[in-house]
Amino acid sequence: MDGESRRTARKLVFFAQDISDTSTVKRAEAFVAEGFDLVLFSFLRGRYHRDFAPPWPVVALGRTADGRYLRRTVALLRGAVTVARKGRYLRGAEVLYARNIDQLVLALFSQVLFRNAAPVVYEVLDVQPAFVRPGVLSALLRAIERLCLRRIALLVVSSPAFAEHYFRARQRYGGPWRLLENKLPSSVLALPRVPAAGPPRDGHVWTVGYFGLIRGDATFEMMERVAARLQGRVRFHIRGVFTTVDRARFDAMLSRNANVAYLGEYVSPQDLSSIYGGVDFAWAIDLENQTHNSRWLLPCRFYEAGFFGVPCLGVRGFESGNQIERLEAGWTFPEPLEDSLVRFFQTLTPEEYTGMRSRLAALPARHFVSMAGELPLDALFGWPMPVIKSEQARKELVDAG
Sorted by where each starts, the structural domains of the chain and their CATH numbers stand as: 3-183+370-400 (3.40.50.2000), 188-366 (3.40.50.2000)
393 falls in which pLDDT band (50, 70, 90)? very low
Of 268 and 346, more confident: 346
7 falls in which pLDDT band (50, 70, 90)? very low
Least-confidence region, from 339-343, 360-364, 374-378, 395-399: 395-399
Instruction: Give the pLDDT confidence score for residue 254 in this predicted structure.
Output: 97
Mean pLDDT of the chain: 88
23 falls in which pLDDT band (50, 70, 90)? confident
d(CA 202, CA 206): 11
CB atoms within 10 A of CB 202: 7
Least-confidence region, from 64-68, 239-243, 260-264, 375-379: 64-68
d(CA 350, CA 355): 9
- One-letter amino acid identity for 38? L
Averaged pLDDT for residues 364-391: 68
Instruction: Give the pLDDT confidence score for residue 397 in this predicted structure.
Output: 28
pLDDT digits (tens, 9 = 90+) for 301-340: 999 999 999 999 999 999 999 999 999 999 999 999 999 9
389 falls in which pLDDT band (50, 70, 90)? very low
Least-confidence region, from 71-80, 136-145, 310-319, 352-361: 71-80
3-state secondary structure of 126: coil
Q: Which helix (H) or strand (E) holds 267?
A: none
177 falls in which pLDDT band (50, 70, 90)? very high
pLDDT digits (tens, 9 = 90+) for 63-84: 776 556 667 788 889 999 999 9
Instruction: Give the pLDDT confidence score for residue 385 in this predicted structure.
Output: 42
1 falls in which pLDDT band (50, 70, 90)? very low
pLDDT digits (tens, 9 = 90+) for 204-238: 999 999 999 999 999 999 999 999 999 999 999 99
d(CA 324, CA 319): 9
- Using the 8-state DSSP alphabet, how is residue 351 labeled? H
Whether residue 178 contacts residue 156, with contact meaning beta carbons closer than 8 Å, is answered with: yes
Q: Backbone dihedral region of 137: left (phi > 0), alpha (psi from -120 to 50 degrees) or beta?
A: alpha
Percent of the chain topping pLDDT 90? 71
Q: What is the largest CA-CA distance in the chain?
A: 68
Percent of the chain topping pLDDT 70? 87
Instruction: Give the pLDDT confidence score for residue 69 in this predicted structure.
Output: 63
Averaged pLDDT for residues 45-55: 65
3 falls in which pLDDT band (50, 70, 90)? very low
Strand ranges in 100-138 using DSSP code E only, listed in sequence order:
120-124
132 falls in which pLDDT band (50, 70, 90)? very high
Least-confidence region, from 294-308, 328-342, 374-388: 374-388
d(CA 329, CA 359): 8
Instruction: Give the pLDDT confidence score for residue 47 in this predicted structure.
Output: 55
34 falls in which pLDDT band (50, 70, 90)? confident
Instruction: Give the pLDDT confidence score for residue 390 in this predicted structure.
Output: 34
Whether residue 42 contacts residue 19, with contact meaning beta carbons closer than 8 Å, is answered with: yes
Evaluate if residue 113 carries a pLDDT over 60: yes
CB atoms within 10 A of CB 62: 15
d(CA 41, CA 82): 9
